[in-house]
Amino acid sequence: MKKILCLSLMIFSLVSSSAFAGPATEADKTEKTQVTEFKPVYFKVPNEWRKVEKSSNDYIRMIYHYNDDTILSIYESSAKGKNLINTVTTEKIVQNNITYHFSPVHKYPKGGSLNWINQGIYFEMESVKLDKNQMLELANGEIFIRGSK
């Protein structure tokens, strides 16, 4: 039951994020392909986490798994034209001159959606396994050099 619920949440997050990025379709050969305006940020995560990367010309989504359980999903795209997600339960947190917007997941003791804009990149982090503080720590923590894995 737990795995089905996690899978359902992941599918929902993949479908809901398509509203930001538009559908990932194969480009018509007569059209110019869109060039990504940013280099992805690779967050430092435990070595045991396995990463699945999905991308299009204008976004990248990294989904981290441990064993057969999804731990975290991170969506990145150019911040141009993006608005931060706010709900009735959104909490704004300012750290290191960045405003983070955290919305908890109801009916879970942990988890939620954390989104922010930094250096022209829109980030959206989602998890039902990590709590708000763990997500903020990861968002503020040490990152790998942009564009390298």
Strands (E), 16-107: 50-55, 59-66, 69-78, 91-95, 98-104
Separation of alpha carbons 69 and 122, rounded Å = 26
pLDDT for res 105 = 87
Give the sheet arrangement for strand 121-127, strand by strand: 50-55, 59-66, 69-78, 121-127, 112-118, 98-104, 91-95
Separation of alpha carbons 31 and 26, rounded Å = 11
Q: How confident is the model at residue 38 (pLDDT cuts 50, 70, 90)?
A: low
Full-prediction pTM beyond 0.75? no
Tokens of 40: 């992805």
Separation of alpha carbons 60 and 69, rounded Å = 21
pLDDT for res 35 = 47
How would you label 4-20 residue by residue, b for 16+ Cβ within 10 Å and e otherwise?
eebeebbeebeeebeeb
pLDDT for res 11 = 42
Question: Per-residue pLDDT tens for 91-135?
Answer: 999 998 999 999 998 888 888 999 999 988 999 999 999 999 999
Name the nearest CA neighbour of 136 among 76, 85, 89, 96: 96
